[in-house]
Structure 1
C-alpha cells in the first residue's frame, strides 16, 4: 500500500526506526509513544505520521529527555486545550538541559584538544630559542611557502600545533611561546608582558627570519600583540589577520571593565576565582549563534595545579594590559589588516570588541569557524578559512 494511506507493521517500523518490536510495545504500554490503529486481526498498523512522531520522541529520548516527560509530551490520553502549552514548556526545559550538557562537553573537548595539541607539539619538529635581554623565547618552524607567524597570548606552540600542521603545506609556519608561557619560562626580573613588550619580542623573532614583511595571524591576546606590532613595525607586516582581540577599552561598559579589573586583581591570591570570573564575563568558551547570549554564570570544574599556576601569570600579569590596551587606529590603518571573529561568538566580549574595532576602522568583519577558541578547537576548518584570508 502506498501514498497517503500507507501503513506499516511493527516489524517494518522497527526496521525504520532501529527500535526492537518489544521495545516499541513497551513504549506503547508506558504511553511513551502513541498507540497505533489496528486492523481486523488486531495487528498494529502505523501510519507514516505515526512513524514520524516515533522518530521525534526517540530523538528526545536519545538527547536525555526523561521517559516521564516524553509521556507528558505525547499526551496520549490528554485531550485538554493546554497540551500544546505543556509541550512547549517541556521542550524549553529540555533545551536548557541539552545546552548545559553541551557546554560541559565543550569544556571537556577544549581540555582534550589542548592535551592532544600539547603532545602533538612535542612530536613535531625541533624547538629553537631566541635570546632576549631578559628571557628566551621558544619557537618552532614547519612547512614551506610564504612566512606565516601564528601569534597568541597566552596561546603558544601547543595551542597552535594542530592549526600549524594544517597550514604547513602552504606556508612556512612559525609558532612560539610568548614570554612566561610554555617553554619560554618566566624568570626573575623579566619585563611585564604588555602588548608593547610582546610586540617587541615578535618583531625580534621576525627579524630572525627575514628583513622583509611577513604574514601574521593573531587570536585573542595575540591579536592585541599584532595591533601593537602594526604601530611599532609596520614594515614587517604584509598582512595581519586579527581574530577577536578582547579589547574592553573599546566597549563603553564600565561594569564590564570593573569586573575584568577585579578578576585580574584577584589572580595572584586566588587564581581559581579569577578564572571563574573571567570565564563568566568573557563567555569565550561558549558557542553562541546570532540570536543567542552566553550564560551569565556556569560553574567551572576544579582546575589542576598547573593550570592554576598558568592563569596566575596570565590573568595576573598578561591579560590586564591586553584587554585595556588602546590601539593606535591611525597606525593600524597603515597596514593590511583583516578583522575576523567566531561565527559562534556572538554577544561575547571579544567579538563585541572586534565589532567595535571594525566600526572604528571602517572594515567589515569576517566570520570564522567556531567560537573564540576556533583556531585550536576546529583547526582544519579554521585553516581552510584562514588560508583564503591570507591570499595566494
Structure 2
C-alpha cells in the first residue's frame, strides 16, 4: 500500500492533529468535513488527503473562519459548482478579516505596551524638572554609559519607557515629555510647540547634562526636532538617528498636504474626526511590507475624553508645524545623522518622507523593526537594531 493509500483510525488522526475524537465527530455531524470511509466493522478510516483537509480546517478555525465558510471551503456541503474559485473567494475574504483583526490587535497592543511602559517608568525613573522661561519640562534618567537622548513629539517618557529600559545597560538614557505632553503640561502663555521651540527645549536639557556632544535617537516628530537641533546647535550632536520624520513638506503630493492641513484644522472642534483623518492619511498604525497593498481605511472607535484632549493639542498645535517643517539640507549635512524607517512602513507617509530626505542628503535608508510605532511596540528588537547605529563613525 502506498503512502497515498494509507488509512488512519480516528485515534491516530486525533493524536496527529491535536483534536479530540469527539471534536472530529462533531465537525462531521455539522457537515464541516466530509464523512470518512468506514471499514467492515463501521470504524472511520481517514486517508492522507482527509487528514490534510482536517489539518487545514484547524488552521482556518484557529484564525476565526466561521464554520459555515469552512464547510464550503472543504466542499463538505457538496454545493459548489466551481470549488477552486469558491475556495479562493473564501480565503480572500477571510484574509481581509484577519488583516482587519490584526490592525485592531496592533492598536490594542500599542496601547497596552505604552501603559506598561508608563507604569514601569514611574517605578524605575524618578521625575526631574527643567525650568524653561514659559513652562516646565519633565524628564527622567536611567542607566550608565554614553549619554543618549530619546526624543519624540508627541511621544514622551511613557512612550519611550520600554525602549529606554532596553538601552539602559549600555547608555545613560534621558527621556523627556515635550512641552504640553505628559507631565510637561501646557500652561497659559506657553509658546507653541514648533520644531524650533522644541529644539531649544532639548538644547537646554542637553546643557543640564553636558557641554559636549551627545547621542540622540528621534522618532516621528522627535526626528524633526533633531533636524532643527542640528541646525541650531551642531556641536551638541555626536550622532543622531532619525526614525521616520513625517515631513509632508518633502513630498510632492498636494492632495496629501491638503488632507493633513484639513485634519489639523478641525482638531480643536472635532478631535475624533481629526484623529480619523490623520490615521487614514498617515497609515502609521498599519504594517505593510514592500510588496503588500495598504489596507482599506477603517473606522476608529470613539476615543475617551482624555485622548480627545491630547489630540486637540497634538493635532491642533504640534503636528502641523512638524509635518510642514522644511529642513535646512545644507545644515543637516554638517552633522552626523543616520536615517531609518520601519521595515513594515512601506507606502506610508512618514517612510516616503524619510526616503525623500535620504535622497536629498545622499544617505542610505536603513530598515528598522516594525512600522512607524516600532520603537514603542517592539522595544527589544528596536533597541538591538538601534545600538550599532549609535556607534562612532570609522575615521
TM-score by shorter chain over 0.5: yes
SS at match of 2:300: coil
Q: Distance in 1 between matches of 2:296 and 2:178?
A: 31
Q: Distance in 1 between matches of 2:293 and 2:234?
A: 36
1:180-214 deviations in whole A, cap 9, x for unaligned? 11111111111111111111111111111111111
Q: Distance in 1 between matches of 2:25 and 2:366?
A: 52
SS at match of 1:129: strand
Q: Distance in 1 between matches of 2:49 and 2:345?
A: 38
Equivalent position of 2:181 in the other structure: 181
Is it true that 1:47 corresponds to 2:47 in the alignment?
Answer: yes
Equivalent position of 2:355 in the other structure: 355
Q: How many residues align?
A: 392
Equivalent position of 2:122 in the other structure: 122
RMSD: 1.6
Q: Distance in 2 between matches of 1:352 and 1:104?
A: 24
Equivalent position of 1:269 in the other structure: 269
Equivalent position of 2:232 in the other structure: 232
Q: Distance in 2 between matches of 1:221 and 1:328?
A: 16
In the TM superposition, what is the alpha-carbon distance from 1:52 to its structure 2 partner?
A: 1.8
In the TM superposition, what is the alpha-carbon distance from 1:358 to its structure 2 partner?
A: 1.2
SS at match of 1:288: coil
Q: Distance in 1 between matches of 2:7 and 2:120?
A: 54
Equivalent position of 2:140 in the other structure: 140
Equivalent position of 1:346 in the other structure: 346
Is it true that 1:221 corresponds to 2:221 in the alignment?
Answer: yes
Alignment of 1:231-310 (within 5 A): 231-310=231-310
Equivalent position of 1:17 in the other structure: 17
Tell me if the contact between 1:293 and 1:348 (Cα under 8 Å) persists in the aligned partners: no
TM-score using structure 2 length: 0.95
Tell me if the contact between 1:281 and 1:296 (Cα under 8 Å) persists in the aligned partners: no
Q: Distance in 1 between matches of 2:353 and 2:39?
A: 65
Shift of the 2–176 alpha-carbon distance from structure 1 to 2, 3 Å rule, reads: farther
Tell me if the contact between 1:293 and 1:346 (Cα under 8 Å) persists in the aligned partners: no
1:1-40 deviations in whole A, cap 9, x for unaligned? 8844433210111112221112212212333123333333
Q: Distance in 2 between matches of 1:182 and 1:76?
A: 57
SS at match of 2:341: strand
Equivalent position of 1:38 in the other structure: 38
1:307-339 deviations in whole A, cap 9, x for unaligned? 111111111110000000011111111111111
Q: Distance in 1 between matches of 2:168 and 2:2?
A: 55
Equivalent position of 1:324 in the other structure: 324
SS at match of 1:33: coil
Q: Distance in 2 between matches of 1:47 and 1:334?
A: 70
SS at match of 2:230: helix
Equivalent position of 2:69 in the other structure: 69
In the TM superposition, what is the alpha-carbon distance from 1:42 to its structure 2 partner?
A: 3.0
Q: Distance in 1 between matches of 2:10 and 2:388?
A: 52
Please identify, of 244-253 and 110-119, the stretch whose mean Cα deviation from structure 2 is larger.
110-119
1:331-359 deviations in whole A, cap 9, x for unaligned? 11111111111111111111111111111
Tell me if the contact between 2:80 and 2:86 (Cα under 8 Å) persists in the aligned partners: no
Structure 2: stretches of 5+ with no match in the other structure = none
Q: Distance in 1 between matches of 2:324 and 2:118?
A: 29
Q: Distance in 2 between matches of 1:101 and 1:4?
A: 37
SS at match of 1:154: coil
Q: Distance in 1 between matches of 2:185 and 2:343?
A: 34
Structure 1: stretches of 5+ with no match in the other structure = none
SS at match of 1:64: coil
